[in-house]
């Protein structure tokens, strides 16, 4: 007898095998989200440190600060899903991966010529599952903390 189609037991076996494969793949997807968050946090901190060093390099070789600095100040501006570093032109610009956001109590950061901030800032970089805090203290130290 020639039968066409699948029996119910065959269909259940296929669904079972697919569900087992899906449960094996789910932790890898979570790992990918964590790696993206780590990458974005590291990239953000790297750009912050580059900006801080650029501001600090505007000194004389003997450590004295230039009294009348002809260069405009370097500023980092934030939105929820991107940031940019600019002075009179845009120096660097970065768009976060989809699903990764930034939250800061201020809309921009400006370092003093000695690399310090007037007010300490904590910036949240987060995804749906995890959070990283980028903490910049008053003397200009930048560190990352898991929440």
pLDDT digits (tens, 9 = 90+) for 61-120: 555 555 545 566 788 999 999 999 988 888 889 999 988 999 999 888 988 878 888 889
Q: Is residue 31 part of a domain?
A: yes
C-alpha distances in angstroms, 116 versus 1, 75, 110? 85, 13, 9
Of 134, 147, 145, 146, the C-alpha closest to 52 is 134
Domain count, the chain: 1
Q: Is residue 134 part of a domain?
A: yes
CATH number at residue 106: 3.55.40.10
Q: Is residue 14 part of a domain?
A: yes
Q: Is residue 1 part of a domain?
A: no
Q: Is residue 2 part of a domain?
A: no
pLDDT in tens, 22-73: 777 676 666 778 889 999 999 999 999 999 888 887 665 555 555 545 566 7
Q: Which domain holds residue 68?
A: 8-146
Q: Is residue 77 part of a domain?
A: yes
The model's pTM = 0.74
């Amino acid at each position: 007898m020639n039968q066409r189609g699948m029996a119910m037991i065959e269909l259940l076996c296929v669904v079972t095998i697919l569900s087992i494969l899906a449960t094996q793949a789910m932790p890898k997807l979570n790992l990918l989200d964590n790696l993206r968050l780590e990458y974005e946090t590291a990239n953000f901190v790297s750009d912050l440190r580059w900006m801080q060093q650029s501001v600090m390099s505007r000194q004389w070789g003997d450590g004295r600060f230039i009294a009348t600095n002809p260069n405009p100040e370097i500023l980092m501006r934030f939105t929820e899903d991107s940031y940019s570093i600019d002075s009179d032109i845009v120096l660097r610009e970065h768009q976060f991966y989809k699903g990764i956001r930034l939250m800061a109590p201020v809309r921009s950061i400006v370092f003093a010529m000695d690399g310090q901030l007037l007010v300490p800032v904590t910036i949240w970089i987060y995804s749906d599952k995890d959070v990283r805090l980028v903490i910049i203290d008053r003397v200009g130290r930048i560190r990352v903390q898991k929440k």
